[in-house]
């Protein structure tokens, strides 16, 4: 284990550089959803390629897509050893609402043992951990214990829309034994965890139109249907009083987990009071008959992510607007097909659109099925062992409310399962103002990734 020990020492000696690395990377506003940031996406892509080249003798390539490019790198100098495909993404969510950030979203700032900035937790910090661990192995030994391929995309936050085609076109290059994902995140900072399930996703947008132009609400109010009223009726009608989604067929194929698994989830160290303190919500809310963790991991949901229309500026404007808009997304569980669920929601909205307004529907993102990692996957067992060593306790095996559309792609196109090995934590306000990443998790993550590479190697070539 000498080599690994040296690698860990090297990583410890580079703590300041690692933080500076992340601050430089997160200073680039690589917002994939907003066309005005196209140049920033390109800058982030190039920054990442240079960072990989600095890490060691990796073959590094820019893989163009019709959207934002992906970065690919590989080192295949360990014949006979396993090959792992590392996944991550260098794009980030839009930073709105800007005025709620305590420090500017793209000026990564350290406060109280955390670094604050858009993307530091999702996914630039966790992605760099993998690169830094690999870099330390190269520095110490000039090589890696196993073969490594890295694929970092630039469209995760917009549904990985071009990744399936890219993976399909490069299926031979991407051949591996499994995927180790630097995206994802652990369930809490106190309890090491491995995510073994993730919900799927489907999303759509719709517009409700009443009059052809905005009207004066004094003159016309009460005599034509107000699109803001109509869209509120549509949104309010998506759930019943028991918190169940009312869309016909939405729950088809959805099954409760067996009682012993439901019991296991209930025994996890999770308390609604602590959850409310963390989120600031005044009460939990959701589908009757399920606990909070079940609502997050095991039940499908339908959420409005944006709703707008009429006058939203300062002061008052007595307008009856022509249009109102909404963005919706559904989280899916095993048994649900994304396209079918989207169609069901669309049918529901069409059926319930009141007279006096018209409805326009748009697909908002490619769908993703729900996912589960096989319990006995070797890459998962290595992850269990590494985390048990690092934290002195076996990791919890948990679900994930969010979705990673690429899971489906890796499984369907490459036949590969994915192990989540991110050191982000679920409370780090990703997709919200004041996203942060814990500095001590950078060190822990680097140690874990460095150890993972050593443990994955077969004994005959194990660095001794």
How would DSSP label each residue in 39-67? HHHHHHHHHHHHHHHHHSS-EEEEE--SS
160: left (phi over 0), alpha (psi -120 to 50) or beta: left
Interface with a copy of itself, residue 82, by CB under 8 A:
no
Residue selected from 80, 113, 142, 237 as contacting a copy of itself according to rule CB under 8 A: 237
Of 197, 135, 162, 156, the C-alpha closest to 30 is 156
DSSP state of 186: B
Interface with a copy of itself, residue 340, by CB under 8 A:
no
Tell me the window of 11-19, 128-136, 229-237, 410-418 that interacts with a copy of itself (CB under 8 A): 229-237
Cβ-count burial 13-25 (b if 16+ within 10 Å, e if not): ebeeebbebbbeb
Interface with a copy of itself, residue 102, by CB under 8 A:
no
In angstroms, rounded to a whole number, what is the distance separating the alpha carbons of residues 120 and 118?
6
DSSP-based three-state secondary structure for 366: strand
Tell me the window of 52-60, 112-120, 136-144, 306-314 that interacts with a copy of itself (CB under 8 A): 306-314
Tell me the window of 126-134, 136-144, 204-212, 343-351 that interacts with a copy of itself (CB under 8 A): 204-212
Interface with a copy of itself, residue 96, by CB under 8 A:
yes
Question: How far is CA 367 from each of CA 26, 196, 205, 337, rounded to the nearest angstrom?
Answer: 28, 20, 13, 9
Nearer to a copy of itself, 51 or 295 (CB): 295
Interface with a copy of itself, residue 433, by CB under 8 A:
yes
Interface with a copy of itself, residue 426, by CB under 8 A:
yes
CB of 387 to a copy of itself, least distance (A): 21
Interface with a copy of itself, residue 360, by CB under 8 A:
no
Instruction: Work out whether strand 59-63 and strand 396-398 pair parallel, antiparallel, or are unpaired.
Output: unpaired
Residue selected from 143, 173, 257, 327 as contacting a copy of itself according to rule CB under 8 A: 327
x/- map, 270-299, a copy of itself, by CB under 8 A = -----x---xxxxxxxxx----x--xx--x
Residue selected from 99, 102, 223, 273 as contacting a copy of itself according to rule CB under 8 A: 223
CB of 201 to a copy of itself, least distance (A): 7
CB of 144 to a copy of itself, least distance (A): 33
Residue selected from 355, 374, 392, 459 as contacting a copy of itself according to rule CB under 8 A: 355
CB of 189 to a copy of itself, least distance (A): 15
DSSP-based three-state secondary structure for 181: strand
CB of 93 to a copy of itself, least distance (A): 6
Residue selected from 50, 240, 261, 303 as contacting a copy of itself according to rule CB under 8 A: 303
Interface with a copy of itself, residue 403, by CB under 8 A:
yes
Contact present, 397 and 194 (Cβ < 8 Å): yes
Element at 130 (helix H, strand E): helix 125-141
In angstroms, rounded to a whole number, what is the distance separating the alpha carbons of residues 2 and 431?
41
Nearer to a copy of itself, 118 or 447 (CB): 118
DSSP-based three-state secondary structure for 424: coil
In angstroms, rounded to a whole number, what is the distance separating the alpha carbons of residues 177 and 419?
11
In angstroms, rounded to a whole number, what is the distance separating the alpha carbons of residues 333 and 92?
25
Question: How far is CA 335 from each of CA 199, 202, 287, 294, 340, rounded to the nearest angstrom?
Answer: 11, 14, 18, 16, 11
Could you tell me how many residues of this chain bind a copy of itself (CB under 8 A)?
103
Nearer to a copy of itself, 282 or 374 (CB): 282
Interface with a copy of itself, residue 97, by CB under 8 A:
yes
Interface with a copy of itself, residue 380, by CB under 8 A:
no
CB of 261 to a copy of itself, least distance (A): 18
Tell me the window of 20-28, 221-229, 255-263, 375-383 that interacts with a copy of itself (CB under 8 A): 221-229
Structure tokens given for 51: 């960072």
Contact present, 92 and 119 (Cβ < 8 Å): yes
Question: How far is CA 230 from each of CA 85, 326, 336, rounded to the nearest angstrom?
Answer: 48, 12, 29
Interface with a copy of itself, residue 442, by CB under 8 A:
no
Nearer to a copy of itself, 168 or 266 (CB): 266
Interface with a copy of itself, residue 254, by CB under 8 A:
no
Q: How many CB atoms lie within 10 A of CB 284?
A: 13
């Amino acid at each position: 284990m000498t080599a690994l020990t040296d690698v860990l020492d090297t990583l410890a000696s580079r703590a300041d550089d690692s933080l500076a690395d992340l601050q430089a990377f997160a200073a680039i506003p690589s917002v994939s959803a907003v066309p005005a940031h196209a140049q920033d996406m390109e800058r982030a892509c190039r920054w990442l390629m240079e960072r990989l080249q600095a890490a060691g003798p990796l073959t590094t390539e820019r893989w163009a897509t019709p959207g934002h490019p992906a970065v690919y790198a590989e080192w295949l100098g360990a014949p006979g050893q396993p090959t792992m495909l590392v996944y991550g993404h260098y794009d980030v969510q839009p930073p709105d609402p800007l005025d709620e950030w305590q420090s500017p979203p793209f000026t990564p700032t350290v406060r109280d043992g955390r670094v604050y900035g858009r993307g530091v937790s999702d996914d630039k910090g966790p992605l760099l951990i993998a690169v830094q661990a690999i870099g330390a192995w190269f520095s110490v030994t000039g090589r890696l214990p196993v073969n490594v391929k890295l694929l970092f995309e630039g469209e995760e936050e917009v549904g990985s829309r071009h990744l399936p085609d890219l993976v399909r076109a490069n299926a031979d290059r991407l051949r591996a034994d499994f995927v180790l994902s630097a995206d994802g995140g652990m369930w809490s900072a106190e309890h090491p965890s491995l995510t073994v399930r993730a919900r799927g996703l489907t999303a759509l947008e719709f517009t409700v139109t009443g009059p052809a132009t905005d009207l004066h609400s004094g003159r016309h109010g009460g005599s034509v249907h107000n699109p803001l009223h109509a869209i509120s009726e549509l949104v309010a009608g998506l759930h019943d009083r028991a918190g169940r989604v009312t869309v016909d067929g939405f729950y088809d194929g959805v099954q409760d987990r067996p009682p012993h698994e439901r019991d296991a989830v209930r025994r996890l160290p999770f308390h609604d009071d602590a959850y409310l303190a963390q989120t600031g919500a005044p009460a939990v809310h959701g589908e009757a008959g399920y606990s909070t963790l079940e609502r997050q991991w095991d039940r499908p949901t339908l959420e409005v992510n944006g709703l707008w229309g009429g006058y939203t500026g300062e002061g008052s404007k007595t307008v009856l607007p022509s249009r109102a808009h909404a963005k919706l997304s559904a989280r899916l569980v095993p048994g649900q097909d994304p396209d079918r669920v989207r169609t069901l929601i669309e049918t529901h909205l069409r059926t319930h659109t009141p007279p006096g307004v018209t409805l326009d529907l748009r697909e908002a993102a490619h769908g993703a099925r729900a996912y589960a990692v096989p319990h006995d996957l070797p890459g998962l067992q290595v992850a269990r062992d590494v985390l048990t060593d690092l934290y002195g306790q076996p990791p919890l095996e948990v679900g994930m409310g969010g979705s990673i559309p690429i899971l489906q792609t890796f499984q369907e196109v490459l036949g590969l399962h994915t192990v989540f090995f991110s050191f982000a934590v679920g409370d780090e306000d990703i997709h919200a103002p004041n996203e942060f990443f814990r500095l001590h998790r950078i060190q822990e993550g680097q140690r874990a990734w460095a150890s993972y590479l050593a443990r994955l190697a077969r004994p005959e070539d194990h660095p001794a």
